[in-house]
Copies of this chain bind each other. A is one copy, B any other.
């Protein structure tokens, strides 16, 4: 099993693992279509820890696919408080929420050394008109995004939220072919806490309790899920899907 946060595929431009490629291929993109998709996908040099791909309020032109590492998207409210909207794992897209307002709502920041592919949105749209399977895939992905955002709101106790969070990571890594039981929590506790709207101390205490209860083992960034079923029950299953 490849370790997480590594480059997804030797030639990411082949798009064999990213959110677009994964489902495009089986539904009828031939080599020519695929080649055309690849022309609008641009690779970029890696970002260092804490560097940003784009900033809030900048004009929207591209969506991004994570090639390696993890990114977080962050908004800052009127009082200057940061809120982490989401974490983005290898193969996942981000920047979709900028389509409607035509500017980036959040800022995207690398967690550790990480890299992306940029995809010009206007060109992607044009291409989607020509390739029905690509259009379908895009609709599907955005629908999934809606669902994901909503799922977060369902849980309300701190236990539920943290258990749910771990499970979504597990599921998402599994979907990309990584282990679903051994996870590298590259993001600091503070970021997890912020994302789930709770105090970092609470995250710490809960991890300890989950460990004492035999649900998982955790040492710094190294998380192993021991009892997946119990975790799902705790989360109320909303995120386990």
Q: Which residues of A contact B (CB under 8 A)?
A: 75, 77-79, 81, 83, 85-86, 96-101, 105, 125-126, 128-129, 132, 135-136, 138-147, 149-150, 152-154, 156, 197, 232-233, 236-238
Q: Are A83 and B147 in contact (CB under 8 A)?
A: no
Chain B, Cβ-Cβ closest to A154: B83
Q: Are A154 and B77 in contact (CB under 8 A)?
A: yes
- Distance in angstroms between the alpha carbons of A154 and B75 in the assembled complex: 8
- Smallest Cβ distance from A176 to chain B, in angstroms? 16
- Smallest Cβ distance from A203 to chain B, in angstroms? 15
Copies in the complex: 2
The main secondary structure of chain A at its interface with chain B is helix
Q: Which residues of B contact A238 (CB under 8 A)?
A: 75, 77-78, 83
Q: Which residues of B contact A85 (CB under 8 A)?
A: 150, 153-154
Q: Are A135 and B128 in contact (CB under 8 A)?
A: yes
**Given that A142-B139, A142-B143, A156-B197 are known contacts, is A78 also in contact with B150, CB under 8 Å in the complex?**
no
- Smallest Cβ distance from A54 to chain B, in angstroms? 15
Contact of A97 (CB < 8 Å), options: B97, B150, B233? B150
Q: Are A236 and B143 in contact (CB under 8 A)?
A: no
- Distance in angstroms between the alpha carbons of A182 and B102 in the assembled complex: 30
**Cβ contacts A to B, 6 pairs, < 8 Å:** A97-B147, A97-B150, A125-B132, A138-B139, A142-B143, A149-B150
- Smallest Cβ distance from A61 to chain B, in angstroms? 14
Q: Are B154 and A78 in contact (CB under 8 A)?
A: no
- Smallest Cβ distance from A238 to chain B, in angstroms? 5
